[in-house]
Amino acid sequence: AQSVTQLDSQVPVFEEAPVELRCNYSSSVSVYLFWYVQYPNQGLQLLLKYLSGSTLVKGINGFEAEFNKSQTSFHLRKPSVHISDTAEYFCAVGRPDSGGYQKVTFGTGTKLQVIP
Protein backbone atom coordinates (compact mmCIF):
# COMPACT_ATOMS: atom_id res chain seq x y z
CA ALA A 1 0.00 0.00 0.00
CA GLN A 2 1.12 3.58 -0.55
CA SER A 3 0.20 6.81 1.19
CA VAL A 4 0.95 10.51 0.99
CA THR A 5 1.09 13.04 3.82
CA GLN A 6 0.82 16.77 3.32
CA LEU A 7 1.17 18.19 6.81
CA ASP A 8 0.27 21.77 5.94
CA SER A 9 -3.35 22.31 5.00
CA GLN A 10 -2.81 26.02 4.37
CA VAL A 11 0.31 28.06 3.67
CA PRO A 12 0.10 31.87 3.54
CA VAL A 13 3.08 33.63 1.96
CA PHE A 14 3.76 37.16 0.81
CA GLU A 15 4.14 37.89 -2.89
CA GLU A 16 7.72 37.51 -4.17
CA ALA A 17 8.71 35.47 -1.11
CA PRO A 18 9.93 31.86 -1.43
CA VAL A 19 7.67 28.96 -0.54
CA GLU A 20 8.05 25.27 0.27
CA LEU A 21 5.12 22.86 0.35
CA ARG A 22 5.93 19.66 2.17
CA CYS A 23 5.12 16.14 1.06
CA ASN A 24 6.10 12.81 2.57
CA TYR A 25 5.15 9.43 1.19
CA SER A 26 5.33 5.80 2.16
CA SER A 27 5.49 2.82 -0.13
CA SER A 28 6.98 -0.63 -0.08
CA VAL A 29 7.91 -0.48 -3.76
CA SER A 30 9.43 2.01 -6.17
CA VAL A 31 7.03 4.77 -7.03
CA TYR A 32 6.51 7.75 -9.22
CA LEU A 33 5.90 11.12 -7.56
CA PHE A 34 3.79 14.02 -8.75
CA TRP A 35 2.66 17.48 -7.84
CA TYR A 36 -0.66 18.73 -9.21
CA VAL A 37 -2.20 22.19 -8.94
CA GLN A 38 -5.92 22.90 -8.79
CA TYR A 39 -7.13 26.42 -9.45
CA PRO A 40 -10.66 27.31 -8.31
CA ASN A 41 -13.34 25.61 -10.39
CA GLN A 42 -10.74 23.94 -12.59
CA GLY A 43 -9.40 20.44 -12.99
CA LEU A 44 -6.09 19.17 -11.72
CA GLN A 45 -3.04 20.21 -13.74
CA LEU A 46 0.28 18.42 -13.57
CA LEU A 47 3.07 20.67 -12.26
CA LEU A 48 5.91 18.19 -12.32
CA LYS A 49 6.76 14.53 -11.90
CA TYR A 50 9.60 12.33 -10.77
CA LEU A 51 9.95 8.99 -12.50
CA SER A 52 13.68 8.25 -12.22
CA GLY A 53 17.06 9.87 -12.73
CA SER A 54 17.93 13.31 -11.37
CA THR A 55 16.37 13.92 -7.98
CA LEU A 56 15.77 17.60 -8.72
CA VAL A 57 12.77 18.01 -10.96
CA LYS A 58 11.75 21.25 -12.61
CA GLY A 59 8.16 21.89 -13.58
CA ILE A 60 5.95 24.55 -15.03
CA ASN A 61 5.46 28.05 -13.62
CA GLY A 62 8.91 28.10 -11.99
CA PHE A 63 8.23 25.29 -9.52
CA GLU A 64 10.71 22.56 -8.67
CA ALA A 65 10.76 19.58 -6.33
CA GLU A 66 13.46 17.37 -4.90
CA PHE A 67 13.08 13.64 -4.37
CA ASN A 68 14.77 12.50 -1.17
CA LYS A 69 14.61 8.73 -0.88
CA SER A 70 16.15 8.52 2.59
CA GLN A 71 13.61 10.96 4.00
CA THR A 72 10.80 9.72 1.73
CA SER A 73 10.02 13.31 0.85
CA PHE A 74 9.15 15.22 -2.30
CA HIS A 75 8.86 18.87 -1.23
CA LEU A 76 7.73 21.51 -3.73
CA ARG A 77 9.54 24.84 -3.89
CA LYS A 78 9.37 28.15 -5.70
CA PRO A 79 11.89 30.95 -5.09
CA SER A 80 9.44 33.81 -5.67
CA VAL A 81 5.66 33.40 -5.72
CA HIS A 82 3.10 35.44 -7.62
CA ILE A 83 -0.51 36.19 -6.83
CA SER A 84 -1.47 33.85 -9.65
CA ASP A 85 0.08 30.92 -7.73
CA THR A 86 -2.80 31.03 -5.26
CA ALA A 87 -4.34 27.57 -5.61
CA GLU A 88 -4.50 24.17 -3.98
CA TYR A 89 -1.53 21.86 -4.49
CA PHE A 90 -1.70 18.07 -4.31
CA CYS A 91 1.19 15.71 -3.91
CA ALA A 92 0.61 12.24 -5.32
CA VAL A 93 2.37 8.91 -5.54
CA GLY A 94 1.88 6.49 -8.40
CA ARG A 95 2.74 2.86 -8.62
CA PRO A 96 3.10 1.12 -11.95
CA ASP A 97 0.49 -1.60 -11.96
CA SER A 98 0.74 -4.93 -13.60
CA GLY A 99 -2.09 -3.76 -15.82
CA GLY A 100 0.21 -1.15 -17.32
CA TYR A 101 -1.22 1.93 -15.72
CA GLN A 102 -0.47 4.14 -12.79
CA LYS A 103 -2.61 3.82 -9.71
CA VAL A 104 -2.24 7.22 -8.11
CA THR A 105 -2.79 8.09 -4.45
CA PHE A 106 -3.24 11.76 -3.63
CA GLY A 107 -2.51 13.71 -0.47
CA THR A 108 -5.14 15.88 1.16
CA GLY A 109 -3.81 19.05 -0.46
CA THR A 110 -2.17 22.31 0.64
CA LYS A 111 -3.85 25.62 -0.05
CA LEU A 112 -1.29 28.23 -0.99
CA GLN A 113 -2.47 31.77 -0.36
CA VAL A 114 -0.25 34.48 -1.78
CA ILE A 115 -0.68 37.79 0.03
CA PRO A 116 -0.13 41.02 -1.93
Partner 1 sequence: GAGVSQSPRYKVAKRGQDVALRCDPISGHVSLFWYQQALGQGPEFLTYFQNEAQLDKSGLPSDRFFAERPEGSVSTLKIQRTQQEDSAVYLCASSPRENTEAFFGQGTRLTVV
Chain contacts with partner 1 (rule: CB under 8 A)? 4, 36, 41-46, 49, 90, 92, 96-97, 99-109
> With 0-12 CB in 10 A as exposed, 13-18 as middle and 19+ as buried, what is 107?
buried
- Least distance from partner 1 to the Cβ atom of residue 53, Å: 16
DSSP, collapsed to helix, strand or coil, labels residue 64 as strand
State which residue, 100 or 116, has the beta carbon closest to partner 1.
100
State which residue, 17 or 103, has the beta carbon closest to partner 1.
103
State which residue, 19 or 23, has the beta carbon closest to partner 1.
23
CA 25/CA 13 separation, integer angstroms:
24
- Least distance from partner 1 to the Cβ atom of residue 99, Å: 5
CB atoms within 10 A of CB 36: 21
